[in-house]
Amino acid sequence: MCATAAVAALTLALSGCGSSSSSGSASSGASSGFVLGALFPQTGSLAYMSPQEEGAVKLALKDINDAGGVLGKKATSVSADTSDADHADQNTSGTQSVLSKKPSAIIGPASSSVVKNVYKEISAAKVPLISMGATSASLSGVDPYFFRTVAPDSVQGAVLGNVIAQDGVQKLAIASFNDDYGTGLRDTIAKTAEAAGVDVVYGADQAFDPTETNFSSLVSTIKASNPDAIAIIAFDQTKALIKEMISQGIDTTKLYLVDGNTSDYSDTFDKGTLKGVTGTIPGAHATADFQKKVKSMESSVKDYTYAAETYDGVILFALAAQKGGKADGETIQKNLLAVSGANGGTKCKSYKECVALLKDGKDIEYVGQTGIGPFNKDHDPSSANIGVYKYGEDNKPVFDHVQSGKVSTD
């Protein structure tokens, strides 16, 4: 998956094929210290998310090394492009490229579908994987070596479904692409909205091909259903879809977007095109200070979706290695729950602060940029944030509010 987003929070919840890069010498894996593997969507429909993920990784490694590294050694990294779900060969080649460098742990991919294509190979190598953006509900508890720092779609879908109902929408159409992420989120939004009295007039059971480029027929069908509002669940396809809506005279201020497309459209549409549109994004709204630091690491960053989730995932890996006394994958996997606070412990907000507590023999609960709760039995955050954003005249999403809640393990 390659997508971008921006939303107010409500918590219920690489270039080149198979390319890799490193920071320092990282070819011998755990034997030479903590080596972070990173899988980014540097190409494909989610490429707009890669800069903030890369910036967050660089910032996390800097903070770790400024605090003395992991087990007294400098933390290093290797990375590769895994593109999106439509490029399964790149999913595989990027993953194999990183695994060949024997990483201690892997951050990413952000796409649920890409995770599904690669997690078994990563797990077989006994390397723990934390996804910062894979939100498919079907990934909860999927593998002992899979974790995530973002809430599952069941949380975001329930939030957006309720927001739609609270806004007074009576007839809703849903335009979703046929992807595990898309259909899973669609189902929850539709179920929640319908339970609140909203009539889903189109899209509860339909989905379009992710490779579609001509949306004339789809938009005509949606228009004929005469909805009050339209929810769009897609990635970069959103631009072409909205342009077709404009050409067919649909009011584009009555849209609802999700984390895959709640993005900055100031250079895409005329002013006011999206004014009043609502979007949601799982995760914390990055603070101004954190945004500044991430951008200092990667100047091309334009949006901060999943930056906090990426940063916290890297810090959690390093803390697990520190607590376990080794930088190998099995040791890190066994200690991730503990450093997240699943067993209780003293709360700490930075790698430096947490390491000091660990060295004193204390249990910890890392409370980082995301504000998520400790990992639960499914390796999801036990509590999380869903951001709700509102679009202004400039077609940019502005954070509106955030709420917190529990992530169900039922």
- Average pLDDT across each block of 10 residues of the chain; the chain has 410 residues. List them in order: 36 31 39 90 91 97 98 97 92 97 97 94 98 91 96 88 96 94 93 97 96 96 98 95 98 95 94 97 84 96 91 98 98 98 96 97 95 93 88 95 67
CA-based nearest residue to 274, from 261, 286, 265: 265
Task: Please give the pLDDT value at position 371.
Answer: 82
Tell me the domain boundaries of the chain. 35-151+286-379, 154-282+385-406
Task: Please give the pLDDT value at position 57.
Answer: 98
The type of residue at 55 is G
Angstrom distance (rounded) from CA 271 to CA 80: 37
Please state which of the four CATH numbers 3.10.28.10, 3.50.30.40, 3.40.50.620, 3.40.50.2300 is assigned to the domain occupying 35-151+286-379: 3.40.50.2300
H/E segment holding residue 227: none
Is CATH 3.40.120.10 the classification given to domain 154-282+385-406? no
Task: Please give the pLDDT value at position 403.
Answer: 64
Angstrom distance (rounded) from CA 286 to CA 59: 14
Angstrom distance (rounded) from CA 235 to CA 4: 7
Strands 383-391 and 397-406: antiparallel
Angstrom distance (rounded) from CA 143 to CA 118: 12
Angstrom distance (rounded) from CA 44 to CA 17: 11
H/E segment holding residue 314: helix 307-324
Task: Please give the pLDDT value at position 11.
Answer: 33
Angstrom distance (rounded) from CA 107 to CA 119: 11
Angstrom distance (rounded) from CA 343 to CA 331: 17
No. of helices (H) and no. of strands (E), the chain? 11, 15
| Residue 38 in tokens | 């990173």
Residues of 362-399 as b/e, b for ≥16 C-beta within 10 angstroms? eebbbbbbbbbbbbbebbbbbbbbbbbbbbbeebbbeb
Q: Which residues are bridge partners to 355 per DSSP? A: none
Angstrom distance (rounded) from CA 37 to CA 112: 18
Q: Say yes or no: do domains 35-151+286-379 and 154-282+385-406 share a fold.
A: yes
Sign of CA dihedral 190, 400, 3, 108: negative
| Residue 376 in tokens | 């639960």
Task: Please give the pLDDT value at position 180.
Answer: 82
C-alpha gyration radius of the chain: 20
Angstrom distance (rounded) from CA 295 to CA 300: 7
Burial of 267 (0-12, 13-18, 19+ CB in 10 A): exposed
Task: Please give the pLDDT value at position 31.
Answer: 54
CA-based nearest residue to 371, from 391, 357, 358, 385: 385
Angstrom distance (rounded) from CA 20 to CA 97: 7
CA-based nearest residue to 232, from 262, 209, 212, 211: 262
CA atoms within 13 A on the CB side of 169: 33
| Residue 264 in tokens | 């900055």
Task: Please give the pLDDT value at position 15.
Answer: 30
Angstrom distance (rounded) from CA 121 to CA 110: 17
Angstrom distance (rounded) from CA 122 to CA 146: 9
Angstrom distance (rounded) from CA 14 to CA 30: 23
H/E segment holding residue 201: strand 199-202
Q: What are phi and psi of 312, to 5 degrees?
A: -65, -35
Token pair 């992420």: residue: 181
Indicate left, alpha or beta for 197 from its phi (over 0: left) and psi (-120 to 50: alpha). Answer: left
- At residue 343, the 3 state secondary structure works out as coil
| Residue 383 in tokens | 């509590």
Sign of CA dihedral 68, 50, 29, 358: positive
